[in-house]
A and B are shown apart, each in its own frame.
Chain A
């Protein structure tokens, strides 16, 4: 039982080794992803939603001093992320092509390794492996975009790799600073958390570390103004890579903020820091300004996109702003909303990329003006795309809605008669919903409504191709119609985090 998480993490890695040694690529990859989904669902079902703290915990000591161990465990938040990863992984390998130019094995291995990195990072309860697993995705992404990308693939692959490399090194510096300031003895997150109270860090120190973590994680999340790598990378990457990266890996930064920065640096958020050019500003205010940048600036940028893939990439960057807003609200409702929104966004963007990838595969282009009337040619494609688009906008009935509502509620919780910057920012951010409705619906209309262009064809999805799409749509609807399925499990863990802050 307690070894299930190890199986979960290492199964994709073992499958990649098997593929490298000559096992049939597609079969092994789908097999591993299926088993992983089954394990995740089992974990989800047997998760005790009344208990706080980590469940299914296991630990394997690596170094005694400083204490590093390959310890894993799940609380509600990581459980949801693991489930998200398992679902998206299965769909991503399923929609992967059966034939590629070059080595098919490498193609599937890369996807599996990205997935293993995500799973490892979400399961790890040791800061070292939390960080290290995330980086497992870096090189596969580099190879995938560089070999099988479209458009300016080489430039894009460089950009994402260097951006993420820089981000993760900054993040490493921040995490290590946290480690040293919390005693410098153990990388176990629970031990570090317990040391927070005793360490009595000066608020300014906490604020500096928080800022470093915000920049480090922020680069990985594509927080404005560190976002410029994201949209071109997703547009250019092969479909499974975009799905996994936008759907799963980008959530690592947000998850990390909630897991590490928020509970371990309780005093860091509201302490003003003298920053160059900005003057005295607290990290919270800075975060709010930047997330408004994500929502409004990138939102407007998204409206201006002429290609479907770039539009989706930018929209994914924009929606990160809402998750940030949930974190910035600093209460359990906002945090829970952020987690649900991460799940919803991960599924919906993966679905959108999967469908867009299907269109590009057939037509060779994703320029919106050259597409049209696909709703008539391929009704199933049109319908599911509409679902995904609506979910992405945040219409009721989809997981994203549940998340966004909770985020907005969290932001207004405990609001008095005076409007704080948080609430002001939330009011501005609400307009982002309108912006995303504009670009999503416009894109949907141009691509799927109206008459098809002369001679255009678009075969609908075959039965086999429908399965991953249906899995994704179903996940969106189940969570959207009955959010407590996630919220109940998230609650105890999130309240623990919120409590750490409240003290």
Chain B
């Protein structure tokens, strides 16, 4: 293991050390402005992001360590997604400070806020490790690092009933899903005697009989992952938790947790789907879940009046599109489902963060998450309205925005694999998306504002919004940089 000190996992190590340093800073300087913690986290993560682009996979991969730590393009890509998402969440958290103070500190200025800026860093470390995990125990440990940090973050506003409710629901259902996942893993281990995904793949190929046991294990793991990525019918926690959690945490759940679930799904499903004997059974199960997710996510979003809840259902529907890509076995198309999913998630990161950032700012000034709170936003702040417009049309999949390309690739994969029924569902779902996403645009542009006071935006948030808008449009027209990271 000669390349011990120049290996990619140093990125995770640095993030962990950063998190610990922040904790110490927070503990030893109780009088300092807590936002200092956030700014340091931001700079540290930016450094990690830059470093990750210069990091190369080591050439000598003989040591057993590399058998449970992947260093492929996909791993690096998801690490970037994780860092970027965390940075944006911290920007959002800084904007959200007044709301947090109201529900956490109660009297003492900024009391108990420090950890809100530290915990995302640990989540980030977990997400990054998960991006490289290709062995069940590693996957499980990193998954739990993320989930346990989220338990705290979701319930962070301890004097807000909604946040507490969300915390309890997330805790119970998260624990339940972990149970399913681990039970599935034990079955796989029982069948194959392996925890390494590659070796499991080989062992499954040679497995005689015990089809129902394999199917059972597959289903259990799928249930566990289904909870994480918010697939129907394991989505029940999503709307309440998303609505109740502090907005930055909701954004993090929506992007980070989903990205983590999908990188794990991409890696775990592969050995199963390669098993020819049961391929059709696995696919059938996946297809049913996917169809239900697309239809439910989109249709249930239609009547929503709360923007955060709307985004929760939107998150479910996007999970449906992503799962659709995973069911595909392309024939002609040059991008693999794994690459398409990664690309989709990168664009999803941009547009979802854009929406949540605007929501955070508007929430601070209107004290409401309802769509009605956005009425006449165009008059109050044309910039915010435009930013959110770009966000929602990208989520809806209007061409020339990044969100369209994701759907575009998913549709191509579906056609190439002959998934006609799912494609029909996706068409209906995408069309209904136009309705519920544009409801927000309607409120912003058609309706009269209830008050006319301009909304204040901090320079940092303005910069983040501007970058996100530009990225959403530029990558919608010229996605080559993102695809380059995935393919070269």
Contacts and interface: CB of A to CB of B under 8 A. Distances in A.
Q: Do chains A and B touch in the complex (CB under 8 A)?
A: yes
Interface of A: 20, 61-66, 70, 102-103, 106, 128, 131-136, 138-139, 142-143, 146-147, 154, 157-158, 161-162, 165-166, 169-170, 172-173, 176-177, 179-180, 183-185
Main secondary structure of the interface of B (DSSP, over half): helix
Given A135-B398, A184-B416, A169 B430 contact: yes
A181 B375 CA distance: 46
A128 B378 CA distance: 31
B333 A180 contact: yes
Q: Considering residues B333, B411, B434, which has the most beta carbons from chain A within 10 angstroms of its beta carbon? A: B434
Interface stretch (B16-24, B185-193, B268-276, B474-482): B474-482
Contact of A66 (B335, B386, B415): B335
A138 B441 CA distance: 13
Given A131-B399, A138-B398, A177-B415, A103 B477 contact: no
11 contacts: A62-B478, A70-B477, A102-B378, A106-B445, A136-B399, A139-B393, A161-B434, A169-B431, A180-B412, A183-B332, A184-B331
Given A65-B335, A106-B445, 15 more contacts: A62-B478, A102-B378, A131-B399, A133-B399, A146-B445, A146-B446, A147-B445, A147-B446, A162-B434, A165-B430, A165-B434, A165-B435, A172-B408, A176-B412, A185-B332
B479 A63 contact: yes
B480 A154 contact: no
Given A165-B434, A180-B412, A183-B332, A154 B446 contact: yes
B412 A136 contact: no
Interface string B403-441: 010001001100110000001000100110011001001
Contacts, number: 101
Contacts of B335: 65-66
Given A63-B479, A103-B378, A143 B441 contact: yes
B412 A179 contact: yes
Nearest to B433: A165
A154 B446 CA distance: 8
A132 B400 contact: yes
Contact of B415 (A103, A106, A173): A173
A218 B171 CA distance: 50
B291 to A, nearest CB: 16
Contact of B442 (A136, A154, A177): A154
B382 interface: yes
Given A132-B404, A185-B334, A142 B431 contact: no
A158 B435 CA distance: 8
A468 to B, nearest CB: 27
B480 A63 contact: yes
Interface of B: 331-335, 378-379, 382, 386, 389, 393, 396, 398-400, 404, 408, 411-412, 415-416, 423, 427, 430-431, 434-435, 438, 441-442, 445-446, 477-480, 483, 487
A349 B13 CA distance: 67
A165 B407 CA distance: 14
Nearest to A183: B332
Given A176-B411, A180-B416, A132 B399 contact: yes
Contact of B483 (A61, A63, A179, A183): A63
Contacts of A179: 412
A177 B399 CA distance: 18
Given A132-B399, A142-B441, A180-B412, A173 B423 contact: yes
Q: Considering residues B379, B389, B400, which has the most beta carbons from chain A within 10 angstroms of its beta carbon? A: B400
B412 A62 contact: no
B431 A165 contact: yes
Contacts of B379: 102
A139 to B, nearest CB: 6
Contacts of A161: 434-435, 438
B334 A65 contact: yes
Given A63-B480, A66-B334, A139-B393, A173 B441 contact: no
Q: Considering residues A20, A65, A103, A169, which has the most beta carbons from chain B within 10 angstroms of its beta carbon? A: A169
A165 B437 CA distance: 12
Contacts of A133: 399-400
A64 B415 CA distance: 20
Contacts of B445: 106, 143, 146-147
Contacts of B404: 132, 135
A139 B404 CA distance: 14
B107 to A, nearest CB: 43
B301 to A, nearest CB: 14
Contact of B399 (A70, A135, A157, A183): A135
Nearest to B479: A63
A104 B252 CA distance: 38
Contacts of A158: 435
B398 A139 contact: yes
